[in-house]
């Protein structure tokens, strides 16, 4: 698709809002060896957000519309860990803000099948 300015959408892109994919791992430090109550609290927040997500063995992948939404969600997950009694919280965040084509959790998984 070409615009009056001569600018064209890259192949595979649409005018629909593109998603940002994020890999998030939030965990407390110094709270023992079983951290499941903290993880469950974080997943509850992510589930309530309504965003598409997939839980992995070491992190959770989330599809969000923009960075503001992502950082707001990360702050809420962080707060959930504090509410569970965490005193030192570690956050690992990896962001894939791809602009050259539409990407989702499913499309990334299908690309390697």
| Whole-number pLDDT of residue 15 | 46
**CB of 82 closer than 8 Å to CB of 45:** no
| pLDDT band of 102, cuts 50, 70, 90 | confident
81-110: burial string, b at 16+ Cβ within 10 Å, e else: beebebeebeeeeeeeeeeeeebeeeeeee
Q: What is the pLDDT of residues 15-34, one digit of tens each?
A: 456 899 999 999 999 998 89
Q: What is the pLDDT of residues 61-88, one digit of tens each?
A: 999 999 999 999 999 999 999 999 999 9
| Whole-number pLDDT of residue 47 | 98
| Whole-number pLDDT of residue 97 | 94
Q: Does the pLDDT at position 59 exceed 50?
A: yes
**Is the pLDDT higher at 80 or at 13?**
80
**C-alpha to C-alpha distance for 108 and 69, rounded to whole angstroms:** 21
For the whole model, what pTM was predicted?
A: 0.82
CATH 2.30.110.10 holds for 20-111: no
**CB of 20 closer than 8 Å to CB of 97:** yes
Domains of the chain, residue spans: 20-111
């Amino acid at each position: 698709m070409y615009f009056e300015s001569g600018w064209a959408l890259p192949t595979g892109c649409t005018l629909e809002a593109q998603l940002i994919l994020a890999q998030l791992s939030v965990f407390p430090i110094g709270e023992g060896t079983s951290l499941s109550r903290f993880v469950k609290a974080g997943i509850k927040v992510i589930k309530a957000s309504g965003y598409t997500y997939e839980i992995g063995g070491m992190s959770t992948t989330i599809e969000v519309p923009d960075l503001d939404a992502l950082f707001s969600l990360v702050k809420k997950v962080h707060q959930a860990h504090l509410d569970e009694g965490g005193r030192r919280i570690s956050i690992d965040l990896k962001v894939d803000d791809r602009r050259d084509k539409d990407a989702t959790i499913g499309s990334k998984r299908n690309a390697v099948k």
